[in-house]
Amino acid sequence: MPAPSEEMMEAIAEPAVPEVSAPRLVGHRSVIFATLAIALVLPFLVQSFLTFQLTLVLVYAIAIIGLNLLTGFNGQFSLGHSAFYALGAYVAAMLMDKVNFPYAATLPVAGIACFVFGFLFGLPALRLEGVYLALATFALAVATPQILKLSPLEYWTGGVQGIVISKPDAPYGLPLTQDQWLYFFTLLVTVIMTLLAHNLVASRTGRAMMAIRDNPTAARSMGINIALYKSLTFGVSALYTGVAGALGAIVVQFVAPDSFTFFLSITLLVGLVVGGVGWIPGAFFGGAFVLFVPNFAESISKGLSGAVYGVMIILLIFMLPTGAAGLVRAVTQRLRGQNIR
């Protein structure tokens, strides 16, 4: 048998449609357990500031999963997720500040508040497609910091000053620093949220979400209620981002209007694209990217950090047009020496 030509090998390695869905290796049990094991020992090996940063990576990852459910799996665009993040953060901060709510209990409340808000926002937004929806959500993102500063709300929101939250100690006398405890707490929430997202996407509901993304007309012909699914997806997406916002508030110990500008929405979008649209584990790659790479850019040039960051994003998009998902798929295929899917 003649050896296959290089061209042919390339043709085999290259999937015909660039945005092929989930590479399967990362779904492999052993990879998941190895990653979890590393995640569990990391805070004992690194400085506490890095532990704090890793916690924020997880927080971002939850928010990015939320955005991915909306954009990657349902085909709706949002530039307004900073608003849901802000709502989650403020709900948590106000509950702790004003009514002494235990920090862990703020998460479900923030999640539900954001679900309701997201669902209601999703209803009228249903009529909008693509760029128009992006614009409507953009308006939401721009309005949010200003609303948070309004003086009638100042008693609750703390106005421009925001709200300071105290850092929780590890419970049950566990021998952990505050940073380590918050990391583990966030990790637990992240694992739960990731599993739930995974199950949602694999369910009948998830199929319907993706069918709407791929072909709304055909989805309707199959009897799928598009309006309902789109609004629900908006709600669930907002819920994820709101829980992330609440966690973020607890971890950073502080909320203020200007932490939640439109720029945060863009940050989440960058994380989504870098991780891979339509691939849930990509959120962790994306979260790490948006947290560490801007710092790295700053270490290269203080004055031009924004430009350096921008160049890095552009390079990455050129080299990995499908984000980390594409990279992981390529590596997996190499390892297995065969085509997946």
Partner 1 sequence: MTALLDVYGLHASYGPTRVLHGLSFSVSDRGVTTLLGGNGAGKTTTLRAICGMVARTGEITFAGQTITRSSTEHIARLGVAHVPDGRGTFTRLTVEENLELGAITRRDRNDVVDDLERVFGYFPVLQKRRGQQAGTLSGGEQQMLAIGRALMLRPRLMLLDEPSFGLAPRLVHELFDILTTLNKREGVSLLLVEQNAALALELADHAYLLETGRIVFSGAAREIREDEKIRRSYLGY
Q: Which is nearer to partner 1, 100 or 221 (CB)?
A: 221
Q: Annotate each residue in 6-25 with x if it binds partner 1 (CB under 8 A) or - if it does not, as one string.
A: ---------xxx-xxx----
Identity of the amino acid at 141: A
Region binding partner 1 by CB under 8 A among candidate stretches 116-124, 125-133, 156-164, 221-229: 221-229
Q: Which is nearer to partner 1, 22 or 163 (CB)?
A: 22
Q: Annotate each residue in 231-270 with x if it binds partner 1 (CB under 8 A) or - if it does not, as one string.
A: ----------------------------------------
Q: Which is nearer to partner 1, 17 or 99 (CB)?
A: 17
Q: Which of residues 14-73 bind partner 1 (CB under 8 A)?
A: 15-17, 19-21
Give CA separation, 291 vs 65, 274, 287, 315, in Å: 15, 12, 6, 18
Other CB atoms within a 10 A radius of the CB of residue 170 amount to: 16
The answer to whether 341 contacts partner 1 (rule: CB under 8 A) is yes
Q: Which is nearer to partner 1, 208 or 272 (CB)?
A: 208
For residues 279 and 22, is the Cβ–Cβ distance under 8 A? yes
- DSSP string of 236-269, one letter each residue: HHHHHHHHHHHHHHHHHTEE-GGGSSHHHHHHHH
Instruction: Give the residue from 33, 328, 284 showing the smallest Cα distance to 340.
Output: 328
Q: Which is nearer to partner 1, 253 or 333 (CB)?
A: 333
Contacts of residue 290, Cβ cutoff 8 Å, sequence gap at least 6: 60, 267, 268, 270, 271, 274
Alpha helices by DSSP H, the chain: 6-13, 29-45, 48-71, 81-99, 103-125, 130-149, 154-157, 178-202, 204-214, 216-221, 226-252, 262-275, 282-300, 305-319, 323-336
Give CA separation, 116 vs 153, 239, 248, 266, in Å: 20, 8, 20, 23
Q: Which is nearer to partner 1, 214 or 258 (CB)?
A: 214
Q: Which of 224, 312, 313, 330 binds partner 1 (CB under 8 A)?
A: 224
Q: Which is nearer to partner 1, 21 or 261 (CB)?
A: 21
Smallest distance from partner 1 to CB 31, Å? 21
Q: Which of 1, 41, 45, 222 binds partner 1 (CB under 8 A)?
A: 222
Smallest distance from partner 1 to CB 54, Å? 32
Region binding partner 1 by CB under 8 A among candidate stretches 119-127, 161-169, 212-220, 264-272: 212-220
Instruction: Give the residue from 69, 19, 27, 23 showing the smallest Cα distance to 322.
Output: 19
Q: Binding residues for partner 1, per CB under 8 A?
A: 15-17, 19-21, 204, 207-208, 210-211, 213-215, 217-226, 278, 341
